[in-house]
């Protein structure tokens, strides 16, 4: 009996060491589903812009990708020509760190960004991919703003139950009107 118990303890310790060393990654993201109104109200800034550059850096043990955004229109927050955002994950040398739910942006691509700036001055995309609307046909007078459905586990904030995310697509003019209407109705600026 004692040998069997010893073997069980050794097995548990081996498993714990494998998990601790990262051999068995158990990472995943659980996101709170944000409605369009949540994105508008909770954001400290909402801007239309184009990714102009990108770089990665360590912050503690984690890698973050930084993006410089050339702002062409501001819907909420202070007027600014350039904003720098930070997204968890990235590549430095041979080390590649992936964070579930984090978007990857490419220089030259245009988006509407729902942003939140922390007390430390770091600016993030609200809800990771939830706060990012890609603009297709950005040279068009009224491009289409599209947000893909997130594949990450999402919870309804009212019930804490899992829910499926849905893709959203609308003309930029409709998104602009929706943002302005919600800000005016809620007294949020």
- Classify residue 142: in a domain, yes or no: yes
Residue with the larger pLDDT of the pair 20 and 111: 111
- Classify residue 180: in a domain, yes or no: yes
| Integer Cα distance of 56 and 146 in angstroms | 26
- Classify residue 16: in a domain, yes or no: no
Six-digit token pair at 121?
A: 């001055």
- Classify residue 2: in a domain, yes or no: no
- The reported pTM is 0.80
Domains in the chain, number: 1
Six-digit token pair at 101?
A: 């739910």
The alpha carbon dihedral of 120, 123, 126, 127 has a sign of negative
Six-digit token pair at 14?
A: 């081996």
β-bridge partners, 114? 46
- Classify residue 6: in a domain, yes or no: no
| Integer Cα distance of 153 and 97 in angstroms | 20
pLDDT at 30: 66
The pLDDT confidence band at residue 133, using thresholds 50, 70 and 90, is very high
Six-digit token pair at 159?
A: 């019930």
Give the Cα-Cα-Cα angle 81, 84, 70 (nearest 5 degrees): 35
pLDDT at 163: 87
Give the Cα-Cα-Cα angle 123, 128, 131 (nearest 5 degrees): 80
122 is in which domain, residue-wise? Answer: 26-186
- Classify residue 12: in a domain, yes or no: no
| Integer Cα distance of 79 and 121 in angstroms | 16
For 58-85, the pLDDT digits (tens) are 999 999 999 999 999 999 999 999 999 9
- Classify residue 110: in a domain, yes or no: yes
pLDDT at 12 over 80: no
The pLDDT confidence band at residue 29, using thresholds 50, 70 and 90, is low
The CATH number covering residue 72 comes to 2.40.50.120
pLDDT at 159 over 90: no
């Amino acid at each position: 009996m004692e040998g069997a118990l010893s073997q069980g303890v050794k097995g548990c310790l081996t498993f714990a060491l494998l998990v601790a060393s990262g051999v068995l990654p158990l990472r995943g993201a659980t996101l709170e589903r944000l409605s369009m109104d949540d994105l508008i109200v909770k954001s400290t800034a909402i801007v239309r812009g184009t990714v102009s550059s990108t770089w990665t850096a360590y912050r503690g043990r984690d890698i973050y990708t930084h993006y410089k955004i050339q702002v062409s229109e501001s819907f909420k927050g202070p007027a600014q020509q350039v904003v720098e955002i930070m997204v968890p994950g990235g590549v430095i040398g041979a080390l590649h760190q992936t964070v579930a739910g984090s978007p990857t942006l490419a220089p030259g691509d245009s988006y509407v960004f729902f942003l939140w700036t922390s007390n430390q001055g770091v600016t993030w995309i609200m809800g990771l991919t939830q706060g990012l609307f890609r603009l297709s046909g950005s040279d068009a007078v009224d491009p289409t703003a599209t947000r893909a459905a997130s594949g990450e586990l999402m919870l309804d904030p009212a019930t804490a139950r899992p829910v499926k995310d849905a893709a959203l697509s609308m003309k930029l003019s409709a998104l602009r009107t929706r943002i302005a209407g919600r800000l005016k109705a809620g007294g949020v600026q």
